[in-house]
Amino acid sequence: MSGGENTVSKTESKYPWSSYTLKWGRGEPVSTTQYVLYAVQIAAIIILSYLSVVLLGPLSYSGISLFYFVYPFFLVFTMWWGIWGIIAAYVGCVVGAGLMVGLGVVPSLAYSVSDLIPPLFAFIIWRGLLANRGYDPLWRDLTDKQVAGVKAKSAGAWVWFVLINGVILNAISAELGVGIEYQLGLIPTGSVAVLGASIPAFWGWWLGWFFGDLLAMVIITPVLVKGLTSLVERQGLVNHGWVT
């Protein structure tokens, strides 16, 4: 084996999650079982998107929830299943948080881009950058002290998790979603009361979106990761790349 091959081998085996990359996959075709699994998770995200809005969304006529509990689900599903989780996030928003709550086709298709951005970039950042720096792309370091025998960088994992998903990508999502709805006339042009203060309606909706996603993410993601991620991995159901 050449020196170059040795270097590649050592790099790939540095962490127990080194096989989870931004490659297309491992070369095998998508099986029928996998297609069924991906279809089921898309259906689940549609239902959760709808429930997030109608159960806990005073702003639900415009598809915005004050506790958007589907957000951590499609983030975690994307970490497991790559492009299929990203598709679920978009389709779930179009159908569940759009069409099913009374938004038209065009507004639903347009504003749902906001749910496409966080999982897409989270997948790229963790698999392409942070995984090579000792952070688990399946986020088990948020809840576990060790991941497959490797000491978890839990403090750093939480900082990156909240900063990237909860602040940066969430803010971009809120700006896109609320901005598109505002331009389409789905958000009032007047003022709303927030904590006793009168602020422009745009910012009231924006704050509802941002904190609704952030709160759900911080509370629910660790539960999903702790309860299900290792099980999904043991069953061989985690994608090694974008598609398979």
Domain presence at residue 61: yes
DSSP 128-176: HTGGGGT--TT-GGGT-SEETTEEP-HHHHHHHIIIIIIIIHHHHHHHH
- pLDDT band of residue 127 (cuts 50, 70, 90) is very high
Domain interval for residue 54: 28-234
C-alpha to C-alpha distance for 209 and 173, rounded to whole angstroms: 9
Domain presence at residue 240: no
Higher pLDDT, 191 or 165: 165
Domain presence at residue 67: yes
What CATH number corresponds to the domain at position 52? 1.10.1760
- pLDDT band of residue 29 (cuts 50, 70, 90) is confident
Residue 7 has pLDDT above 70, yes or no: no
- The count of domains in the chain is 1
The pTM of this model reads 0.91
